[in-house]
Chains A and B, each alone.
Chain A
Amino acid sequence: MAKQAGNNKITTSSTAEYFSKNLQQVGFSSQTKAVLTTLKEAVDNALDACEEHGLLPEVHVLVEKAGAGSIKNSDQIRIRVEDNGPGIDPDDVPKVFGEYLASSKFGRGRCSRGQQGIGISAATTWAQLTSAVGARVITKTDKMRKALSCLVEVDIKNNRGVIKDRETIDWDRPTGTSVEFLVDGRVQLNGEAGLLNYLNGTALVNPHLKLSYKLPEIEMQTIDRVSDMVPGIPEATEPHPHTMKLGEFIAHSHLFGKVKAGVWLKKGFSRVHEGVINDLVKGGLKRSVLEKSVDALNEVEFKQLFVGLQNQKLMAPSTKSVLWIGEEALSKSIKRLGAVDFFSVVSRKPTICDFKPVQIEVAIARLEDRSIEAESAAQVLRFANRVPLQFDKSACAIVQAIQSVNWRSYGLVQPKDSLPQGPYIMAVSVVSPFIKFKNASKETVDASDELVAEIRLALIQAGQRLSKHIRKEVKANELEEKIRHIEQFGPILVNGLCRIVNASEARKKKAEEGLLKLLGRDAKATEAELEEAHALLEAQQRKGQPTDADVIDTEKLAEEVAEEAPEKAAKKASKKAGKKRKSQTAEASA
């Protein structure tokens, strides 16, 4: 074996060293992806910083070609993101941009975009590797009179941020941060993996964001905010013991140092209280283990605690920690995507999937733009904690849920087991303090049965709302078709009959009048149906969404789910629908 091969010395690599060699794992696997990931990481950080401090974010984005890149067939791209956030303390600047896994958010159980503190450091590394220059940062907090301008580089050997060219400058804003990267890459504007898709998606799920951007070949664009409410970030939630593995459980203890194991369990986990501790003892755990300091526990004792907790029946975790956009804000925001004929939005109540709190929100809009081919698949916008996901869509829980819904029953065209077709945008947002991604670059949400079933329910609700609009349109088409039929076939039928029976002109005229009367009655009946559909929609719009008319019959919904979804998912969905029904009834009566 290599390890025993004598002269081969075993070395340890720093985290930075690992990631600098494996940047493809965190979103730098191609030149177009590198540009998008860099932009994404910078914007995510800007938005998280503003929200944490209750500021309405105003973000300026610049992406431009700065020359030829060092890699073959690449351009050198300048990516600059400026925000009006709280600024970064000068001491923290090297940590934020130059150190891996240095995060204020790691494992905190909050619905923030960033989680581990990898992304932005990876962007600095990519810039450093391809352009030999790190991240150019300007930042100013409210405690600083002048802004700090510097260059941050990653000391790859030691996983440390290094500051260069440090100077203080005048900056015409009270607080904020500007970060600029020069990276090798290629700009892709359109398509699912395009920059525009990312920026529009970000605007959609952040109604409070004012975004201006200048991209190559595109004039400066500004998307104004449609909401003045900064989302109140819910308190972090402690992890639920049933969501952990033994290793994570032990690692979690290191955050607590010298506290008694019993106290650690109560403070460090959600849904563990005195009653649970007593039940652990009743279950055979020695009281002395609980009295012992956490840092003194050995592996056997950790295992005893862990197994004891796994065997306990614990309450499901709280859903208070999820952050949602809300139907009203989503309704306003979706109009920023372009001219839409109609749309429907659904915010499901927070629920528990795979023992983790999660909330699903769905917005479906039909675009007025008819240049989109009718047979092309609907555009899917996926979001995880309000960050657009743009790659590896087929394995994603969101896409699987969309494909599992029978959109034909809502009036959309859908080939079997595929995405629906037409000029539609389907935006699905999954928000959870513990989103299970398939990879470190956070491109795909893992498709567990429970999560897919929950997304499916949200989509079905949105589909039902949407079908009202489509039905109205179908009725209008029917009316048009019927009127056309009357005009076209009426005279042909009467003429044919008259020719066969050699009827007089007088008979012919009388028959034509009679036919018009008859078919006119049919047209009137259709007109009445159309008016009824109009009235229903107007009533819905007057009340604002969601309306009474939109309250979904969850039982029916669950049945629908049961018919189509795999058996396992169906059982879970129906169970959940039952619970939801209770809460909805309570809400209705309130």
Chain B
Amino acid sequence: MATPSTDQSIPKLSKELCSRLLADLERAKRPVLYATKCSLDNALYNHKLGYLTPGSKKVATELNVSSVKKMSRAIFMLEVLLRNIDTGAVNTKRELYYISKGYIKHDSTMKPLDFADQNESDEIIDFICEMLECYREEMNCYANDRGGQTYSQQLIVTETLPDGDKAVIDLSKLGTSPFQPKNRPQNLKLSARKKIDFCVIVESEGTANTLVANGFTRRHSCILMGAGGVPSNAVRGWCKLIQDQLRVPLYFFGDLDAYTLQNIYRTLKAGSAASLIRNSDYSAPDVKFLGVLPEDIKKYDLNDYPVKENDAQEVRALKKAADALKNDPFFQDKRNKGLAQILRWLLENKRRCEQQAYFTVDPKDVTMPEKIIVEKIKRGNYV
């Protein structure tokens, strides 16, 4: 967690690392940088923790003529990031790309470090994070706040501002506007006007908006959130906050397909292999999969359709699903047997059903999807 003490530890860690590198060079010894391997083959899952954690594998980068460029770039970028931490400035990855170009422009000796495109500088930022085992937010590098639009008549958010002041946001006073969680939701404190019964995270922000417009949050004491596709750090951290601070049951409502299950729901619940080092703060292990479930298709006579063989994304997702069943520790854990079964069903039947299919159940009744969601929660019809 990016607490003030951690903020101080990053410069300290960085200096220690650089000092070690320098000492090695003084002795004409090859310095080696170790970074946590962030991939599925180094991911562990413990149901007690509920999220993917890094294993013991490290990627070693030894200094030689081939790696000297990468190391020089990493030290250069680290210096930029440390300067930001020192002054409290924050930047996006894109801005850091341009900042580094600016430095290089004004100092011709740095020219060999120049990044040809943002991918190159992004890679170096990720490399630094893996080396220092920190999140890029801890290096004051933020992505834009995307997804997580939240509606509630009960929720009150208190934000601690950088100058120590507090801002209180009562979501019931926002009218039809949603609350947009920040990429660093750890600075927020949550409370409730009256007991909140549940929180529903809807995959599509549009559908979330429709449910609210049709009175969902007025009729139920709840939190309703639109994930907006693959959850951003903001959405992941925000869900974790709701889970930890309000202790309300969380339900995810999205499409029934391999992509949603693996890339959206799994990331929300247990984090991802690429973010092994920050899953502890960016996952909400209590979130349940409300649907669409395979049995809902029959039960509600939903319109489903076959996976298009020429749709590269869908085919890739299915292939990945087959791989996940074999190699992903999350889906292999027996406590997630129900989810693995859904993946298997998708692989066998090669069909998919969208969340909006609930609107076909009774086209005249705009509240029908809401009714089904609430009924499913009441009956415990989720995984």
Contact = CB atoms under 8 A, between A and B. Distances in A.
Nearest to B27: A514
B297 to A, nearest CB: 43
A46 to B, nearest CB: 58
A489 B26 contact: no
Interface stretch (A173-181, A310-318, A339-347, A498-506): A498-506
Given A498-B22, A511-B26, A514-B28, A492 B63 contact: no
Please report whether the interface of chain A is mostly helix, strand, loop or mixed according to DSSP. helix
A430 to B, nearest CB: 44
A510 B26 contact: yes
B21 interface: yes
A522 B18 contact: no
Contacts of A511: 22, 25-26
Contacts of A515: 25, 28, 63
B83 to A, nearest CB: 10
Given A514-B28, A518-B28, A503 B22 contact: yes
Contacts of A503: 22
Contacts of B82: 500
B72 interface: yes
Contact of B72 (A489, A507, A514, A518): A489
A482 to B, nearest CB: 4
Contacts of A90: none
Nearest to B75: A496
A286 interface: no
Interface string A522-558: 1100100000000000000000000000000000000
A517 B78 CA distance: 25
Chain B: number of interface residues, binned into ranges:
20 to 34
A497 interface: yes
Contacts, number: 85
B382 interface: no
Interface in B79-98: 79, 82
B69 to A, nearest CB: 5
B65 interface: yes
A511 to B, nearest CB: 4
A282 B72 CA distance: 86
Interface stretch (B50-58, B109-117, B173-181, B371-379): B109-117
A514 B26 contact: yes
Interface string A152-177: 00000000000000000000000000
A518 B26 contact: no
B18 to A, nearest CB: 4
Q: Which of A491, A494, A507, A518 is packed against the most chain B CB atoms within 10 Å?
A: A518
Interface residues of A, number: 30
B120 to A, nearest CB: 15
Contacts of B334: none
A452 B109 CA distance: 55
A493 B71 CA distance: 7
A190 interface: no
Nearest to A486: B65
Contacts of B63: 515, 518
B68 interface: yes
Interface string A327-342: 0000000000000000
Interface in B13-56: 14-15, 18-19, 21-22, 24-30
Contacts of B75: 493, 496-497, 500
Contacts of A488: 112
Contact of B68 (A497, A501, A514, A519): A519
Contacts of B29: 514, 518
Given A498-B22, A518-B63, A489 B69 contact: yes
A510 B69 CA distance: 20
A125 to B, nearest CB: 58
Given A491-B109, A492-B110, A510-B26, A497 B21 contact: yes
Interface in A15-42: none
Contacts of B198: none
Contact of A501 (B22, B69, B71, B72): B22
Contacts of A69: none
B127 interface: no
B64 interface: yes
A54 interface: no
23 contacts: A482-B65, A488-B112, A489-B68, A489-B71, A492-B110, A492-B112, A493-B68, A493-B72, A494-B22, A494-B25, A496-B72, A496-B79, A497-B25, A500-B15, A500-B75, A500-B78, A500-B82, A501-B19, A514-B29, A515-B25, A515-B63, A519-B68, A526-B65
Interface of A: 482, 485-486, 488-494, 496-501, 503, 507, 510-515, 517-519, 522-523, 526
- Minimum-distance CB pairs A-B, first 4: A496-B75, A514-B28, A511-B25, A488-B112
